[in-house]
């Protein structure tokens, strides 16, 4: 029999706050974390806005010397993981055996900023000026590696790299590890820090980014006037724990992870399959895995990027999976406030999902002003909704046709 898995700790570094709870407070209140770009040269690109992490001090979470040897995306992951471990009330080696704790942290791109910086040094000043820590600073798996080292976790150590589905896939894959009995606890989620001129140029040239110059209104998922996503950064980490282990130590339980579905579109490198066919199958697999009916889902934290094709096809997918119940659901996109945090986004949205259950609050989609006749669901426009929430489904979709769906449920014995 598969083991039950609960969430006992959360940690985050986001454009809305450098911890999970302040981020959530801003999400509930419809606050945008998007502003003028400061960590990239806005004179070199046609995009001037981003959802940047603000005031992050890595030395508050790790040795300053070690921090200098990490990419920014790894620093975010270490900080969020340490906050999640504290929130869960665990000390590895005391409350849980190191060999029974795994790490599974995804990143879509890794340390691109560090690679770009070192490449410039190589071109301008030659090989001897390249940092000897360049490779571990930018390879995508190193966030998981650094967290393992910093926290002393000796179980499975892995990294899912599935573009914007990386964080959700990592949580789902970590879920399976505990279900099988191969770990008692998993430190899992996603991290990203790739707001660079090169990233922005690439996304902008493929017409994926919003050209709206106003930071506060640029990200407008499901709105008729949406014109692209706003790039963001940060990390979201959850502590997944086997239920019996959590109960034995009297852990605080945010909710239960009950379903995971993952599929591939086999369609196009960037455009979703027509009518979200791959997303449909991911949601159906997750619902089946959770052992629930579609009618039991109360809220969908949508991928909702604010691009034309994503928002249209995700809506069509939801309508196909849920039929008439789609019109009873609340569907919102928190990317309207966080921007699109790429490989971290599914993880931070998993945190929002369990907090929606815990507090009975469905976060809004802000900047929803002009309904699109093709999109006719309840997108929770602009103001959070206070209501009982039993089951939340969270979607993450990535370039390459990656689809990941997680289902969270209110915990009951």
- Say whether 159 is catalytic: no
**What CA–CA distance (Å, rounded) separates 174 from 180?**
10
Tokens standing for residue 350: 């998993």
Helix axis angle, 166-179 to 345-359, nearest 10°: 70
DSSP H stretches of helix in 89-158: 112-125, 134-138, 142-151
What is the helix (H) or strand (E) element at residue 162, kind and residue range?
none
Q: Is the separation of the CB atoms in 408 and 354 below 8 Å?
A: yes
Please work out, in degrees rounded to the nearest 5, the angle formed at the alpha carbon of residue 315 by the alpha carbons of 311 and 319.
175
Please work out, in degrees rounded to the nearest 5, the angle formed at the alpha carbon of residue 222 by the alpha carbons of 257 and 212.
120
Rg of the chain over all Cα atoms, to the nearest angstrom: 20
Q: Is the separation of the CB atoms in 339 and 195 below 8 Å?
A: no
Q: Is the separation of the CB atoms in 92 and 16 below 8 Å?
A: no
Tokens standing for residue 164: 């914007």
Q: Which of 16, 79, 164, 366 is catalytic?
A: 164
Evaluated on CA atoms 291, 293, 296, 302, the torsion sign reads positive
Q: Hey, which residues are catalytic here?
A: 164
């Amino acid at each position: 029999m598969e083991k039950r898995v609960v969430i006992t700790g959360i940690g985050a570094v986001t454009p809305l706050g450098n911890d999970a709870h302040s981020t959530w407070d801003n999400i509930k209140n419809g606050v945008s974390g998007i502003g003028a770009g400061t960590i990239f040269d806005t004179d070199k690109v046609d995009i001037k806005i981003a959802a940047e992490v603000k005031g992050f001090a890595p030395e508050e979470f790790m040795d300053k010397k070690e921090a200098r040897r990490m990419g920014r995306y790894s620093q975010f992951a270490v900080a969020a993981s340490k906050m999640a471990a504290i929130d869960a009330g665990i000390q590895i080696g005391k409350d849980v055996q190191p060999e029974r704790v795994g790490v599974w942290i995804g990143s879509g791109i890794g340390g691109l900023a560090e690679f770009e910086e070192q490449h410039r040094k190589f071109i301008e000043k030659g090989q001897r000026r390249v940092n000897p820590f360049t490779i571990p600073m930018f390879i995508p798996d190193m966030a998981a590696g650094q967290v393992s080292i910093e926290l002393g976790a000796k179980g499975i150590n892995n990294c899912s790299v599935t573009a914007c589905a990386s964080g959700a896939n990592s949580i789902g894959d970590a879920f399976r590890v505990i279900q099988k009995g191969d770990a008692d606890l998993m430190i899992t989620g996603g991290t990203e820090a790739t707001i660079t001129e090169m990233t922005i140029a690439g996304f902008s040239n493929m017409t994926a980014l919003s050209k709206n110059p106003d930071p506060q209104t640029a990200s407008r998922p499901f709105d008729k006037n949406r014109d692209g996503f706003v790039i963001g950064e940060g990390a979201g980490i959850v502590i997944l724990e086997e239920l019996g282990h959590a109960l034995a130590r009297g852990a605080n339980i945010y909710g239960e992870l009950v379903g995971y579905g993952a599929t591939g579109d086999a369609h196009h490198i960037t455009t979703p399959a027509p009518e979200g066919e791959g997303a449909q199958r991911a949601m159906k697999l997750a619902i089946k895995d959770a052992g629930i009916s579609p009618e039991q889902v109360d809220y969908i934290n949508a991928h909702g990027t604010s691009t034309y094709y994503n928002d249209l096809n995700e809506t069509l997918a939801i309508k196909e999976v849920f039929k008439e119940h789609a019109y009873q659901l609340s569907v919102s996109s928190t990317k309207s406030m966080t921007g699109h945090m790429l490989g971290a986004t599914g993880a931070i949205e998993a945190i929002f999902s369990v907090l929606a259950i815990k507090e009975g609050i469905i976060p809004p989609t802000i900047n929803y002003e002009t309904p699109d006749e093709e999109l006719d669901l309840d997108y929770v426009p602009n103001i959070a909704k206070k209501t009982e929430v039993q089951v939340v489904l969270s979607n993450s979709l990535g370039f390459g046709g990656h689809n990941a769906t997680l289902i969270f449920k209110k915990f009951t014995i």
